[in-house]
Amino acid sequence: MIASDQVFADIAEQKETLWINDKYLPFSMVDAVCQLVVSDEDIEDTEKRLHRFAPYIRKCFPETEADGGLIESPLAEISSMKEALEKTYDAEIPGRFLLKMDSHLPIAGSVKARGGIYEVLKHAEDLALEAGMITEDDNYERFADEDMKEFFGRYTVQVGSTGNLGLSIGIMSAFLGFKVKVHMSADARQWKKDMLRSKGVEVIEYDDDYSKAVMEGRRQSDLDPSSYFVDDEYSVPLFLGYAVAAGRFKAQLEEKGITVDEDHPLIVYIPCGVGGAPGGVCYGLKRLFGDNVHVFFVEPTLFPSVLLGMASDRYNEVNVSDFGLTGMSAADGLACASPSGFVVRIDRNLVSGDFTVKDAILFDYMRMLKGTENIFIEPSSCAAFTGPVNINKYEAGREYLAKHGLDEKKLAASAQICWATGGRLVPDEIWDKYMNTYM
Ligand SMILES: *Cc1c(COP(=O)(O)O)cnc(C)c1O
């Protein structure tokens, strides 16, 4: 593969690259098949469940008051950042330039507040309904009652994580009353482990990569009938929690007077780890905007697991070490050696392509965003900026734009979205460290 394909060669040499999806298809051709797996009704059902829980979330997490108990994030125009990127990297970024700030989602401070919290809520609802503790028509503020917490205390929730998924599952599960075990990979940051322990979560540390932490967590959970495992590599509820982002995002675009149609394309760049979060968001966006949205993932040069899973058609069987990639990434939220088997399949014909980015530049983007917009997002999140800066610097990128009719006029009328995925919970002393990291 390395000998016959430049993208694989770039990856093996740890060079930044852009892979354009060879199996990208018009949405109408994949719509029906996709719906067999995750339908519009499933997404609607997810949205309804989140609305049922809104009174509870609002009561327990006053930061969600403004969104009525829904866990949502702002969409911000970042024109100064756009100017700085253009100037510094000799780039041309046409159209409007916006940051979707899932980095600042309530409760978990990362995009995992969508999928992770949703899956925990769904599990809690399933248990409570089955035990006759609630009905769907009750006011879900009831979940805050002591007897409910005692009830959930008989059950365990477990998850494998590089950090942020553990934070979202850990915080929400512990809050509901569950016993929680988070299996953390070697890349996980100390402050994330400390924060979880301070909330009564049991953190189990591994001297190994993310896939191993997941495997061990899954194994331990399977041995215990009262334990539920949130499976980042296969979970449909998790995926659905991410997919509902699209509908709410659409409303935010409308508020900003942004139209999405054939003449006004939407181009979205999302940092990618195991694939769940970007895969779910991409799926939701494609269902709403079809061929008028173009979604690119971005992965670290050391962990292009989703790119490799798709480009090789080996799906979850691929591991970045097959291409000689070993080592740690400063983009801890994206450090996944093998992709989600579920996401690489369901998004195989939907995602436009996948960029890789070197760790060092993430800190430069981070400082630039702080300096121009006074917004802090964590290094993993900053991966998104490599997309708009570089898309037309790659021949493959220019070909993609041409092939899909994205000419100068359409690009000028486009909206480009960098999907920020984490940062709000990062402690001040860690920010100071990040701000002074030069690689
Ligand atoms: C988890 C995470 C991602 C990517 O999500 P995956 O589901 O692992 O692909 C991106 N950025 C941050 C900050 C994350 O924590």
Residues lining ligand 1, judged by CB closer than 6 Å?
110-112, 164, 271-278, 333-334, 336, 378, 380-381, 421-422
Pocket test for ligand 1, best of 73, 99, 107, 110 (most atoms within 8 A of CB): 110
**Burial letters 131-159, b for 16+ CB under 10 A, else e:** eebbeeeeebbebeeeebeebbeebbbbb
Given pLDDT bands bounded at 50, 70 and 90, which one contains residue 70? very high
Residues 135 and 252 in one domain: no
CA–centroid distance, 271 to ligand 1, in Å, is 6
Say if residue 163's pLDDT is above 90.
no
User: How far apart are alpha carbons 106 and 64 in whole angstroms?
Assistant: 7
Given pLDDT bands bounded at 50, 70 and 90, which one contains residue 332? confident
Of 255-264, 328-337, 348-357, 387-396, which range is least confident? 328-337
- Token pair of 233, please? 């590599």
Amino acid 91: pLDDT: 97
Domain count, the chain: 2
Given pLDDT bands bounded at 50, 70 and 90, which one contains residue 139? very high
Residues 350 and 216 in one domain: no
The closest residue, in CA terms, to atom 6 on ligand 1 is: 273
Given pLDDT bands bounded at 50, 70 and 90, which one contains residue 5? very high
Q: For residue 335, report the phi and psi dihedrals to the nearest 5 degrees.
A: -85, 75
Say which CATH number the domain at 349 has. Answer: 3.40.50.1100
CA–centroid distance, 138 to ligand 1, in Å, is 34
- Tell me whether residue 1 is in a domain: no
When pLDDT is averaged across residues 286-301 and rounded to a whole number, the result is 98
Amino acid 328: pLDDT: 87
Say if residue 187's pLDDT is above 90.
no
Pocket test for ligand 1, best of 168, 299, 380 (most atoms within 8 A of CB): 380
The closest residue, in CA terms, to atom 1 on ligand 1 is: 333
With beta carbons less than 8 A apart as the criterion, state whether 58 and 86 touch. no
Residues 128 and 197 in one domain: yes
Amino acid 431: pLDDT: 96
- Tell me whether residue 226 is in a domain: yes
Pocket test for ligand 1, best of 209, 211, 421 (most atoms within 8 A of CB): 421
Residues 199 and 262 in one domain: no
CA–centroid distance, 421 to ligand 1, in Å, is 6
CA–centroid distance, 147 to ligand 1, in Å, is 34
Given pLDDT bands bounded at 50, 70 and 90, which one contains residue 305? very high
User: How far apart are alpha carbons 69 and 56 in whole angstroms?
Assistant: 7
Taking the CA of residue 378 as reference, the ligand 1 atom at the shortest distance is 13
Say if residue 275's pLDDT is above 90.
yes
Amino acid 205: pLDDT: 94
Place of tokens 């994206």: 334
Given pLDDT bands bounded at 50, 70 and 90, which one contains residue 357? very high
- Tell me whether residue 223 is in a domain: yes
Identify the domain boundary among 234, 265, 298.
Answer: 234
Say if residue 268's pLDDT is above 90.
yes
Count CA atoms closer than 13 A to 38's CA, side-chain side: 27
Identify the domain boundary among 202, 218, 234.
Answer: 234
Residue 4, helix vs strand vs coil: coil
Amino acid 271: pLDDT: 98
Domain that holds residue 268: 6-108+239-435
Of 227-236, 260-269, 373-382, which range is least confident? 227-236
Amino acid 87: pLDDT: 98
| CB neighbourhood size of 250 (10 A) | 17
Residues 159 and 29 in one domain: no
Residues 61 and 134 in one domain: no
CA–centroid distance, 318 to ligand 1, in Å, is 19
Starting at the edge strand found earlier in the chain, the sheet holding 156-161 runs 202-205, 179-184, 156-161, 227-230
- Token pair of 384, please? 């998104």
Residues 180 and 261 in one domain: no
Any long-range contacts for 42-45 (C-beta under 8 Å, 24+ apart)? Answer: 42/236, 42/240, 43/240, 43/243, 43/244, 43/247, 43/284, 43/287
Given pLDDT bands bounded at 50, 70 and 90, which one contains residue 208? confident
User: How far apart are alpha carbons 296 and 298 in whole angstroms?
Assistant: 7
Amino acid 98: pLDDT: 98
| CB neighbourhood size of 272 (10 A) | 34
Say if residue 174's pLDDT is above 90.
yes
Residues 284 and 396 in one domain: yes
Amino acid 301: pLDDT: 98
Q: What are the CA-CA distances from residue 214 to residues 36, 130, 209, 303 (Å)?
A: 27, 28, 9, 16
Residues 331 and 244 in one domain: yes
Pocket test for ligand 1, best of 73, 99, 111, 329 (most atoms within 8 A of CB): 111
Residues 117 and 214 in one domain: yes
Given pLDDT bands bounded at 50, 70 and 90, which one contains residue 210? confident
Amino acid 162: pLDDT: 84
Identify the domain boundary among 234, 250, 276.
Answer: 234
When pLDDT is averaged across residues 39-65 and rounded to a whole number, the result is 97
User: How far apart are alpha carbons 414 and 387 in whole angstroms?
Assistant: 15
To the nearest whole number, what is the mean pLDDT of the chain?
A: 96
Amino acid 233: pLDDT: 86
Which one-letter amino acid corresponds to residue 403?
K
Residues 290 and 371 in one domain: yes
When pLDDT is averaged across residues 362-381 and rounded to a whole number, the result is 98
- Tell me whether residue 31 is in a domain: yes
User: How far apart are alpha carbons 410 and 392 in whole angstroms?
Assistant: 14
- Tell me whether residue 104 is in a domain: yes
Residue 34 CB contacts under 8 Å (≥ 6 apart), including other chains: 283, 287, 346, 350
CA–centroid distance, 333 to ligand 1, in Å, is 5
The string of pLDDT tens digits covering residues 84-125 is: 999 999 999 999 999 999 999 999 999 999 999 999 999 999
422 secondary structure, DSSP code: B
Q: What are the CA-CA distances from residue 302 to residues 78, 310, 358, 359, 425 (Å)?
A: 29, 16, 8, 9, 25
Q: For residue 18, report the phi and psi dihedrals to the nearest 5 degrees.
A: -130, 125
Tell me which of 189 and 73 has the higher pLDDT.
Answer: 73
Element housing 268 (H / E): strand 266-271
User: How far apart are alpha carbons 326 and 332 in whole angstroms?
Assistant: 14
Residues 49 and 164 in one domain: no
